[in-house]
Structure 1
Amino acid sequence: MIGGLVSEILFGFTGLISIINPFAIAFVFLDRTETLTVEERAALAKRVSINAFFVLIVVFFVGTPVLHFFGISIEALRIGGGLAVAVSAWNMLNAPETRTDVTTAKPVDPDHATSKAFFPLTMPLTTGPGTIATAIALNANRTHKLSEFLLSSIASVAISVLVVLVIYFTYSRSAYIAHFLGKEGTKVALRVSAFLLLCIGVQIMLTGFSEFLAPLAGNTPAP
């Protein structure tokens, strides 16, 4: 029982971390919070992590019923969320070069950055459609048997805690990573991260379209 629980936690954790990829998104987070001090950035990272925790908990436990209630399919979730991610990444790729050195940034308007703690920093940049779809898939086979439901619930909470700890650690220390890379290295990392985020958004959309069109293609009569 314990071995199965640990295995489920590790499987879910690695799956979500690979989708979220907080190490790459940390540079996106740094770009969006370049006007904050280290302390303010750490506080914002904490808020984003807390938001991400509650998003994961909600998705784990009520994600599927909520989608069914509003008549939203996984395909629509992927297409809409992927579009939001792609648009955000495209704006970052085409943003003009900032004159502010993100490794020594001074606070200019911290309220403007902190107002974005949930959108877009938590959703869709951190816990986007890929994360939601993965979390729903992890609990797709959850049974109503009490013992199995409790174990699955414990695994869901443990996975969420581990994921948000990694998010907080990487986001709150993004400036240190940038300082290690240097000014030019950070600019390159920001652009590469934005491009990868754009590719992720497009891939999520393509997955949604392919899943939506697959049944239609299967029902098409042969010529």
Structure 2
Amino acid sequence: MPTFLQLLFLVPLTLLPIINPVGVAPIVINAAGGNDRVLKRLSRQVAVNGWVVIMASMLVGTYVLDMFGISLPVVRVGGGLLVAYSAWVMLTRNETDDVQTAVAESANTDLSEAEIVRRSFFPITFPLTTGPGSIAAAIALGAQLPRSPLPYLMGAGVAAIGAAITAAVVYLVYRNGGRLLMRMGEVGTLVMMRLMAFVLLCIGIQILWTGWADLNHLPL
């Protein structure tokens, strides 16, 4: 029981600093097009997607990587490239593009659930929310689960609760953080987006560099 309780709190305490939902909140509001109702639905869907990614990583991540012969450093390199590319697009996009995007998104605020799901997964859920860092951490947490059938099921249930707590925190931050950014106005949000894009670029490069450094220490 102490091991299961430790796992319950270990999942959110390990993943939330890596996910950093506060840093991704400006991207969520931009994807919502400034519409509060869409923001609520998008935040909920990203939280659901994130829970699925975390659980899949913890339960089957190790087996999938072994099956395809993919190492965690390679996952970090690929994910770092995706994060850096997404941040670079945000940094180099001009004001005209922002206006056109806002107009295009606000023209259709009655999005279907299928459209919300499509918009929420890439790049908001992956790689910005549950990126290579959080996936690698989730795989490492999953490797600590007992291998006996009954303890494994109990550990998986506790891990699912911990992942649900993590997803709930992500939802609350995206939902309320987005509303706060809405009050900042278009200029304030644009400035915040540029600053966070630079931070995301640095994060992507750091993830890429960490994976590259790990690869240099692994045998080919």
Kept in 2, the 8 Å contact 1:83–1:205? The answer is yes
User: Are residues 84 and 178 of structure 1, via their aligned partners in 2, closer, same or farther at CA, if it must alter by over 3 Å?
Assistant: same
> In structure 2, which of residues 193, 197, 200 is the aligned counterpart of residue 197 of structure 1?
200
Equivalence for 1:15: 14
Equivalence for 1:123: 126
1:32 matched to 2:35? The reply is no
The offset of 1:56, in angstroms, is: 1.2
Equivalence for 2:49: 51
Amino acid in structure 2 at the alignment position of 1:194 = A
Equivalence for 2:172: 169
Kept in 2, the 8 Å contact 1:37–1:106? The answer is no
Residues of 2 paired with 1:138 and 1:106: CA distance? 39
The offset of 1:193, in angstroms, is: 1.4
Kept in 2, the 8 Å contact 1:86–1:199? The answer is yes
Equivalence for 1:148: 151
User: Are residues 94 and 19 of structure 1, via their aligned partners in 2, closer, same or farther at CA, if it must alter by over 3 Å?
Assistant: same
> How many residues are paired up?
214
Residues of 1 paired with 2:211 and 2:94: CA distance? 32
Name whichever of 13-22 and 185-194 sits farther off.
185-194
Identical positions, percent: 34
- 3-state SS of 2:127 partner: coil
Cα-to-partner distance string for 1:58-96 (whole Å, 9 max, x where unaligned)? 111101101111121111111011100110011111111
User: Are residues 66 and 106 of structure 1, via their aligned partners in 2, closer, same or farther at CA, if it must alter by over 3 Å?
Assistant: closer
Greater gyration radius? 1
| Unpaired stretches in structure 1, ≥5 consecutive residues | none
> In structure 1, which of residues 111, 134, 138 is the aligned counterpart of residue 137 of structure 2?
134
Residues of 2 paired with 1:212 and 1:200: CA distance? 18
Q: For 1:58-97, what aligned pairs fall within 5 Å after superposition?
A: 58-97=56-95
- 3-state SS of 1:116 partner: helix
Amino acid in structure 2 at the alignment position of 1:20 = I
Over aligned residues, Cα RMSD in angstroms?
Answer: 2.7
Kept in 1, the 8 Å contact 2:29–2:178? The answer is yes
- 3-state SS of 1:174 partner: helix
Residues of 1 paired with 2:208 and 2:86: CA distance? 14
Amino acid in structure 1 at the alignment position of 2:71 = S
Residues of 1 paired with 2:140 and 2:178: CA distance? 34
Residues of 2 paired with 1:65 and 1:129: CA distance? 16
Equivalence for 1:210: 213
Cα-to-partner distance string for 1:108-153 (whole Å, 9 max, x where unaligned)? 2455973322122211111111111010011223331245323421
Moved over 6 A (4+): none
Equivalence for 2:40: 42
Kept in 1, the 8 Å contact 2:28–2:178? The answer is no
| Unpaired stretches in structure 2, ≥5 consecutive residues | none
Q: Which has the higher helix share?
A: 2
Cα-to-partner distance string for 1:20-59 (whole Å, 9 max, x where unaligned)? 111110111112322x521122112212221111111111
Q: For 1:172-191, what aligned pairs fall within 5 Å after superposition?
A: 172-191=175-194
TM-score, normalising length from structure 2?
0.86
